[in-house]
Amino acid sequence: MSVTEPAAPGAGTRRKRGAVLEDTIRSAAYAELCDVGYAAFTVEGVAARARTGKASIYRRWPTRQELVLDALCAELPTPAQCGLEVEFDDSVATAEALRRVAMVISAVLASPAGAAMRAVKLESASDPDLARVVDERFQAPRRAVLLALLRRGVDRGEVREGAATQLVADVLPAMLLHRMLLQNEPVTGQDVAEIVEQVLIPLVAAR
């Protein structure tokens, strides 16, 4: 009498592997973050969404923070992709360039990916390791764009010497985040214009 051997686990289905599995996990992690927020985010929830095991996730992302940030990096546009640029036409003055950059940053922060990023930013206030990685992965590249733009302004005689610093470059994103995170208010085009005209330009303008 013959005995039918039990089917191997996963028989009849094609298991995702390699880059395909990693993309699936990132997408699941982003969906989990948007649905439940960072505080309630679990690897178990991501595994269920991605239909994979926790071990597969931990082999690639040893910590929850790394998984969250990698998922956000996959969803948030890079500075270049969202239009943050330094090589403006010579006819574009520094004040106008700053307005354009501010509009781009506020649009990204208001997007679904930006909302998830804001949730992580709030949590990072009590998590120094998370705060450090958030700065390295997200804030530093955007700070670099603003810093380069300020240096361009110095070269053009539109920005005072000494204003092209990381501290000054943080002012614009910090004010936009303050309004969205702490005041929980949208940032309109008029808000952006007022921040640039009343705060940023007086701070950096050549005297």
User: Hey, where are the domains in the chain?
Assistant: 18-72, 94-204
Per residue in 110-158, pLDDT (tens digit) is 777 777 777 777 777 778 877 887 787 777 877 888 898 999 999 999 9
- The architecture of the domain spanning 18-72 is Orthogonal Bundle (1.10)
CA distance 39 to 101: 31
pLDDT band at 57 (very low <50, low <70, confident <90, very high): very high
More confident residue, 50 or 72: 50
Name the CATH architecture for the domain at 94-204: Orthogonal Bundle (1.10)
Which stretches of the chain are assigned E, i.e. beta strand? none
pTM above 0.75, yes or no: no
Counting other chains too, the contacts that 101-108 makes at CB distance below 8 Å and 24 or more residues apart are: 101/145, 101/146, 101/149, 101/172, 102/172, 102/176, 102/192, 102/195, 102/196, 102/200, 103/189, 103/192, 105/142, 105/172, 105/173, 105/176, 106/176, 106/187, 106/191, 106/192, 107/82, 108/76, 108/77, 108/82
Mean pLDDT of 62-90: 75
The pLDDT value recorded for residue 48 is: 95
